[in-house]
Structure 1
Amino acid sequence: LEPTLWCHPSQISSLSKLIYFDLSYNQLSGRIPPEIGLLNNLQALHLNTNQLNGSIPQEIGNLKSLVELCIDDNHLSGPIPSSLGDLTNLTLLYLFKNNLSGTIPKEIGNLKSIVELELSQNQFNGSIPTSLGDLSNLEILFLRDNQLSGSIPQEIENLMKLTVLELDTNNFSGYLPQNICQGGSLQKYNPQRFAKLQELSEVRLEGNQLTGNISENFGAYPNLHFIDLSHNNLHGEISQLWGQCPQLATLRIAGNNLTGSIPPEISHATQIHVLDLSSNSLVGVIPKDFGRLTSLVNLMLNGNQLWGPIPSEFGSLTDIEYLDLSTNKFNESIPGTLGNLLKLNYLNLRNNKFSQEIPFQLGKLVHLSQLDLSHNSLGKLNLSYNNLTGLIPTTFDEMHGLYDIDISYNQLQGPIPNNKAFQNALMEGNNGLCGNVGGLKPCNNSVEHKHTSRKAFLIIFPILGTLLLAFLAFVLIGRRRSRRKQEQEIEQMHESFFSITNFDGRKMYGEIMEATNGFDVVHCIGKGGQGSVYKAKLPSGSIVAVKKFHRTLDGEEASRKEFFNEIRALTQIRHRNIVKFLGFCSSSHHSFLAYEYLEKGNLAAILSNEHEAKKLDWSTRVRIVKGVAHALCYMHHDCAPPIVHRDITSSNILLHCDYEPCVSDFGTAKLLNPDSSNWTALVGTYGYVAPELAYTMKVTEKCDVYSFGVLALEVIMGKQLGNFVSSFSFPSTTYANIFLKDVLDQSLPPPTPQLQDELITIARLSIACRHSHPQSRPTMHMVSQALSFPTASSNRRSNDITLEQLIMI
């Protein structure tokens, strides 16, 4: 239209039944006539991309049926009229690219239906109104290129559906809201102004759909200590500027589309504890300068295309506990300097191109709980004359290139791997090994033992009466000897444990007594049925948790058994999700155990605190469930004999500062020896105890499986389990109309699609674990595997899956 064809106001008022009014992309000039407010049925008004000037008429607020208002790309000036807040049906408001000024009116917060709000490229000043946090349906918010100031309001965190947020080219100050991305839907968050945010200390943008070039958007930040950009769609190369962040402790950019090599300048950030660059497309070699990162605890470079050798300088990373370099193209040999990483409990080098021999120095890694060297071309393994204990990892089954093995003179036990190289391996000096190899006892001798025992019973039975007195005497003597033998075992265990850890038990006793002021109640951080737990800060600066058994029970058989049970269980297990055992003391005055101190306390306390529970977002809760599952899988399937905890509850799950879980409290644990009875008294916590224990009293691994099912449901529901889920495992028409989304913790925002798949898997497994028949429950190995590799639920989400459907999956 030509400017002269812009209709007269009297003509506009006569169009009372008009629904759609579009004059966009013309050359209209002049003001928007106030009479336009008389079009009561109007649903869409598009006047964008013209040459209109003047102010926005207040009368537009009368268009109650309006759904779309587009008056962008004009020359409009003045403020946004507060009457626009009356357009409660509005889903789209475009005012960008004008000369509008003043503050953004708080009445904009009344637009409950708004999906897209575009106010960029104007001259708005003042702060963002907090009422914008009420726009629960908002998906796109553009406020860039204005003169806005102040801090970004915390209420922005409430915009759960937000996918695009642009705030750049303003004068904002202060902190970014901590949970600005908690909805998990963010696709575009323009961080170009980040380079100027010199006070930036923490950034959490993980688990969204962010795009853009990471090389260009970030600078050097003197105060930055934590940044997580994982699992987005970012591309580009890793900037060398990360090395200019002197306080940086955690850098996570996993699961993106990063390319190029790892810049050696990162090694200048010597305070890094956690570095996760996994699941990208990085190439090149690991910089030798990484040896300077001596504060590293977790390093994940897996799932890239890195090549070359592992730098021998890695031997300087003496604090590292978790190292994953799997699924790359590393070649040459594994450096022997990895044997210097004495704190390492997880080492994964699978699916590379390593060749030659496995260095014998790996035998020094006494805290290692998981080792995977499979899918390489390794040929020789010599770990002889060490003090290795436990089972040989089953991952050796897949190391088909092995041809020369020497594991002699250790303390290994259990079956040898199903690998040809082990048929001719040197294994003497390991009395606990078994298998179908000459010189080793067969692994499955329990059937023959039971058969022999049955024959002996049939022979003895006829003369049992005459030998009854002798038998009773024998039992009494045997019990006395057994008790003496148990005490000797504990003494030997005490000596062995402290000699391995170079630990002075007497010194520790004195330090703990001094640190707790003789177990003063001031230092008590928890109480249980067996005893109390105290926090003790030792002179070295380290903090330990001390579990002191009740003095009234110190001399009783039950208390002694619980005390020795816990020691026996903990001295033979090492796993990143099981609390670290430091030592013990048993005297006429005190009996206590010392553990590592975990900062966040127990899971039950956090779930029962509404404020703290909200910090456990969905990804953290999934990680907690997985961690407990992995720990139980290790106890049931990788320990010989298997260990059953018997009291898996949220109170016995402790959390590190990053909410990594650890199973604790092994006072009721039982070792399932195949040649001894596994009948027991009923122990455990009400609500978590497997139902069959009430009538069979026989302990199996499936008792822990049941408890795990209860715990997992508790984690995703965010509350103690009551009658609602007491019959959760049985199909019922009651559940036909109850959706999984309504069962999940309502205090958290809806999970992302990826997390929904994981939560569906957890819920399904939890129900299976709580089956009334033990034989029908999965093993913890099956549970651990299913959680590690969750499958998409055929595009079904928690929104449309009912409990009945979930039970039947």
Structure 2
Amino acid sequence: MADLDLSGNQLSGPIPMTMWSLTNLQSLQLFSNNLIGTIPTEIGNMVSLATFDVNTNELEGELPNNISLLTNLQSFSVFTNKLSGGIPSDFGKYSPGLAYVSFSNNSFSGELPPELCSGFGLRVFTVNNNNLTGSLPECLRNCSALSRVRFDGKQFTGNLTNAFGGQIPNGIGNLTFLFTLNLSRNHLTGSIPKSLGTLSKLELLDLSDNSFMGDIPIDPGTFDKLTSLNLSHNNLSGNIPAEIGNLELRYLLDLSSNSLSGQIPSNLAKLTQLEVLNVSNNRLSGAIPSSFTNMLSLNSYDFSYNNLTGAVPSSGIFQKAPANAFAWNPGLCGALEGLTACSSSGKKSNTNTNKILIGVFVPVCGLLLIAAAIALILIFRKKPKPLDVETKSSKSESFESNIWEREVKFTFGEIVKATEDFDEKYCIGKGGFGTVYKAELLSGQIVAVKRLNISDSSDIPATNRQSFENEIKTLTHVRHRNIIRLFGFCSRRSSMFLVYEYLERGSLGKALYDADRGPELDWGTRVKIVQGLAHALSYLHNDCSPPVVHRDVSINNVLLEWDFEPRLSDFGTAKLLSSDSTNWTNVAGSYGYMAPGNINYNVFIFGSFF
């Protein structure tokens, strides 16, 4: 036997000892089961093993040292288990063909193996969410085929240039296939290597929550494909490069919590597709460029805690701007709540007179109010306090549960008002899991609100409810160009609501079966849609922590932008609304699109779309 695949079943118990004696076995895949126990030293008997995948089980204990002696090993995946201890120090040293390695979502400690990519063929390497420490392996600088790396959520230290080579010829600029680079939440120091900008396929860069210093290294002709940039919570200094405005950023630009100074470049207004802009907690000065009013896709922005001055723009996206987006900028003025009004020269002559009137009027009014309050207390102190019907009524209107992403600037109350308490005239669709409403907020932002088909949310078991809410918290942090943005969740009047961004073109199902729009989907467009969905599913399964399983990928849950870029939507509802609310392991999904039996879901779903 050369290949053994028992993945995606409900197997339990330890891995049988007899399995470790299969010396001719080349591929062992046991992922997505309920296996327990340890990986024994007998794994060393499997001298022909090239692929070992036991991810998403309940395995525990330490990795045996002799896994380093599996010379034919090409793929090693143990993510999302309960493994602990150190990773063998010579892992990878004797496996020149090693290409895929994932230790994510365990409790590994100690340092990473210094020679894990001795064969220079490593393409995917993820170790996020462990307890690893120390410096990043310097051998990574030679792995030019790397396309995905994740080190976030650990306690790595040291200088990034030591690991990836900085500006030397064989440095990080050689990793030409790198698509995502996430090094957030470590203790990395030094400057950000300029050679990062030469990565022609890099779309997501997250270096947040480290100790990087120096300038932001963005020069003309660099970061050609970058759509999301997060450099927040570092020690970066200098000015914000105007060249950022020439990038293709579409989702996130977060430069908050650094020591950046100077003015905000007006050139950033060219980022007309940007959704989130955060430059708070810096030392920026000058005015907020009036050209920012044209950034119509911007639905979240934060300029607070700087030294900005002048009038806050009042048109475009700033018409209904939240005051906290400009807080602690003493020099800013405007008509927003919390800001001082911008004074004109004609009013200055009356300043002293106004101060005298205020100085007399305020104390007199204060004394009258105190006297009235004392009188009311004396009148009513002996009367029994009846049940406050109004208060009780207001409590019934309160929200039982709220989960919102950090950048959201609107409230669920605004949504209720915009839809006239979910009047039918705002309904834009109905499905097996709920009814969707279109809500146009006062700020001009449009959101889609799905009211789930649940007669009474209190009927859901507490454990199921908590699991669902934990998943929603995870999904509000998901950022990918092919995944719909989930703003948050609210439970109100025993009903449950999910709030998404709104896309005008609608679903893929509508585009496929609408007689007037069907011809728009030529084969080139369909390939583009499939590629986008592949990127989305790969991100959910490999780059999210914990991994996210959609459970209901169908043509009606794929929304389209104006240029037919696909956006996967409707997370979590299938799991919550399973027909057997006491068993969350049941398969849930749309009829005709559920993967039969234990067939790999990703492979199956692409075959059913077109």
Question: What band does the TM-score fall into relative to the shorter chain?
Answer: 0.5 to 0.7
Distance in 2 between residues matched to 1:349 and 1:280, nearest whole Å: 17
User: What amino acid is the match of 2:153?
Assistant: G
Alignment partner, residue 250 of structure 1: 148
1:684 aligns with 2:429: yes
Distance in 2 between residues matched to 1:360 and 1:767, nearest whole Å: 31
Measured after TM superposition, the shift of residue 282 of structure 1 is: 0.6
Name which of structure 1's ranges 368-377 and 264-273 shifts more when overlaid on structure 2: 264-273
Alignment partner, residue 226 of structure 1: 124
Measured after TM superposition, the shift of residue 323 of structure 1 is: 0.5
User: What amino acid is the match of 1:251?
Assistant: V
**Conserved? CA contact 2:68–2:95, under 8 Å:** no
Deviations 1:449-475 (A, max 9, x none): xxxxxxxxxxxxxxxxxxxxxxxxxxx
Distance in 1 between residues matched to 2:301 and 2:34, nearest whole Å: 52
Higher helix share: 1
Distance in 1 between residues matched to 2:451 and 2:423, nearest whole Å: 20
Counterparts in 2 of 1:270 and 1:220: CA distance versus 1, 3 Å: farther
**Conserved? CA contact 1:227–1:250, under 8 Å:** yes
Distance in 2 between residues matched to 1:760 and 1:672, nearest whole Å: 23
**Conserved? CA contact 1:304–1:327, under 8 Å:** yes
**Conserved? CA contact 1:194–1:217, under 8 Å:** yes
Measured after TM superposition, the shift of residue 758 of structure 1 is: 3.0
SS in 2 for 1:196: coil
Alignment partner, residue 280 of structure 1: 186
**Aligned residue among 193, 214, 230 for 2:112:** 214
Alignment partner, residue 195 of structure 1: 93
**Aligned residue among 51, 62, 68 for 1:164:** 62
SS in 1 for 2:125: strand
**Conserved? CA contact 1:199–1:221, under 8 Å:** yes
**Conserved? CA contact 2:203–2:226, under 8 Å:** yes
Counterparts in 2 of 1:355 and 1:173: CA distance versus 1, 3 Å: same
1:304 aligns with 2:235: no
Counterparts in 2 of 1:332 and 1:682: CA distance versus 1, 3 Å: closer
Deviations 1:37-69 (A, max 9, x none): xxxxxxxxxxxxxxxxxxxxxxxxxxxxxxxxx
Counterparts in 2 of 1:433 and 1:759: CA distance versus 1, 3 Å: closer
SS in 1 for 2:101: strand
1:707 aligns with 2:606: no
1:241 aligns with 2:139: yes
Distance in 2 between residues matched to 1:266 and 1:689, nearest whole Å: 47
**Aligned residue among 253, 265, 283 for 1:377:** 283
Distance in 2 between residues matched to 1:392 and 1:421, nearest whole Å: 22
Deviations 1:549-586 (A, max 9, x none): xxxxxxxxxxxxxxxxxxxxxxxxxxxxxxxxxxxxxx
Distance in 1 between residues matched to 2:492 and 2:322, nearest whole Å: 34
Alignment partner, residue 470 of structure 2: 758
**Conserved? CA contact 2:439–2:447, under 8 Å:** no
Distance in 2 between residues matched to 1:197 and 1:337, nearest whole Å: 43
**Aligned residue among 253, 276, 290 for 2:196:** 290
Counterparts in 2 of 1:226 and 1:679: CA distance versus 1, 3 Å: same
1:173 aligns with 2:72: yes
Measured after TM superposition, the shift of residue 281 of structure 1 is: 0.5
Measured after TM superposition, the shift of residue 213 of structure 1 is: 1.9
**Conserved? CA contact 1:423–1:437, under 8 Å:** no
Alignment partner, residue 729 of structure 1: 457
SS in 2 for 1:337: helix
Measured after TM superposition, the shift of residue 214 of structure 1 is: 2.0
Deviations 1:590-631 (A, max 9, x none): xxxxxxxxxxxxxxxxxxxxxxxxxxxxxxxxxxxx9x9759
Distance in 1 between residues matched to 2:127 and 2:270, nearest whole Å: 36
Distance in 2 between residues matched to 1:392 and 1:131, nearest whole Å: 47
SS in 2 for 1:332: strand
User: What amino acid is the match of 2:37?
Assistant: L
User: What amino acid is the match of 2:238?
Assistant: E
Alignment partner, residue 41 of structure 2: 142
Return the TM-score normalized by structure 1.
0.42
1:126 aligns with 2:23: yes
Distance in 2 between residues matched to 1:283 and 1:333, nearest whole Å: 19
Counterparts in 2 of 1:125 and 1:740: CA distance versus 1, 3 Å: closer
**Conserved? CA contact 1:408–1:426, under 8 Å:** no
User: What amino acid is the match of 2:457?
Assistant: S
User: What amino acid is the match of 1:758?
Assistant: N
**Conserved? CA contact 1:391–1:415, under 8 Å:** no
1:332 aligns with 2:248: no
Distance in 2 between residues matched to 1:357 and 1:392, nearest whole Å: 20
SS in 2 for 1:730: helix
Measured after TM superposition, the shift of residue 160 of structure 1 is: 2.6
Counterparts in 2 of 1:394 and 1:632: CA distance versus 1, 3 Å: closer
Measured after TM superposition, the shift of residue 149 of structure 1 is: 1.0
**Aligned residue among 259, 264, 279 for 2:157:** 259
Count residues in correspondence.
414
Distance in 1 between residues matched to 2:274 and 2:488, nearest whole Å: 33
5+ unaligned residues in a row in structure 1: which ranges? Answer: 1-111, 441-625, 645-670, 711-725, 745-755, 782-787, 791-802, 805-809
Measured after TM superposition, the shift of residue 387 of structure 1 is: 6.7
User: What amino acid is the match of 2:38?
Assistant: E
Distance in 1 between residues matched to 2:184 and 2:274, nearest whole Å: 21
5+ unaligned residues in a row in structure 2: which ranges? Answer: 1-11, 345-401, 476-485, 502-543, 547-580, 583-610
User: What amino acid is the match of 1:291?
Assistant: G
**Conserved? CA contact 1:299–1:323, under 8 Å:** yes
User: Within 5 A, what are the aligned runs for 1:272-671?
Assistant: 272-313=178-219, 316-385=222-291, 388-390=294-296, 395-396=301-302, 398-404=304-310, 407=313, 413-415=319-321, 417=323, 419=326, 437=341
Distance in 1 between residues matched to 2:110 and 2:334, nearest whole Å: 56
User: Which of structure 1's runs of 4+ aligned residues deviate more than 6 A?
Assistant: 112-117, 128-135, 391-394, 408-411, 420-428, 432-436, 697-701, 703-706, 760-763, 765-768, 776-781
Deviations 1:214-258 (A, max 9, x none): 261422444432221111122222234323222211111111221
SS in 2 for 1:168: helix
Measured after TM superposition, the shift of residue 365 of structure 1 is: 1.3
Deviations 1:465-504 (A, max 9, x none): xxxxxxxxxxxxxxxxxxxxxxxxxxxxxxxxxxxxxxxx
Distance in 2 between residues matched to 1:132 and 1:406, nearest whole Å: 58
Deviations 1:1-41 (A, max 9, x none): xxxxxxxxxxxxxxxxxxxxxxxxxxxxxxxxxxxxxxxxx
Percent identity for Structure 1 against Structure 2: 19
Measured after TM superposition, the shift of residue 374 of structure 1 is: 0.8
**Conserved? CA contact 2:157–2:186, under 8 Å:** yes
Measured after TM superposition, the shift of residue 143 of structure 1 is: 3.6
Alignment partner, residue 18 of structure 1: none
Point out which structure has higher relative CO (alpha carbons under 8 A, 6+ apart).
2
Distance in 1 between residues matched to 2:185 and 2:222, nearest whole Å: 25
Distance in 1 between residues matched to 2:317 and 2:141, nearest whole Å: 44
User: What amino acid is the match of 2:23?
Assistant: G
Measured after TM superposition, the shift of residue 380 of structure 1 is: 1.6
Alignment partner, residue 723 of structure 1: none
**Conserved? CA contact 2:89–2:113, under 8 Å:** no
Measured after TM superposition, the shift of residue 261 of structure 1 is: 0.8
Distance in 2 between residues matched to 1:789 and 1:254, nearest whole Å: 10
Distance in 2 between residues matched to 1:130 and 1:291, nearest whole Å: 38
SS in 1 for 2:262: strand
User: What amino acid is the match of 2:48?
Assistant: G
Measured after TM superposition, the shift of residue 348 of structure 1 is: 0.6
Return the TM-score normalized by structure 2.
0.54
Q: Name which one, 1 or 2, has greater alpha-carbon Rg.
A: 1
**Conserved? CA contact 2:262–2:286, under 8 Å:** yes
Distance in 2 between residues matched to 1:286 and 1:156, nearest whole Å: 36
Counterparts in 2 of 1:143 and 1:427: CA distance versus 1, 3 Å: same
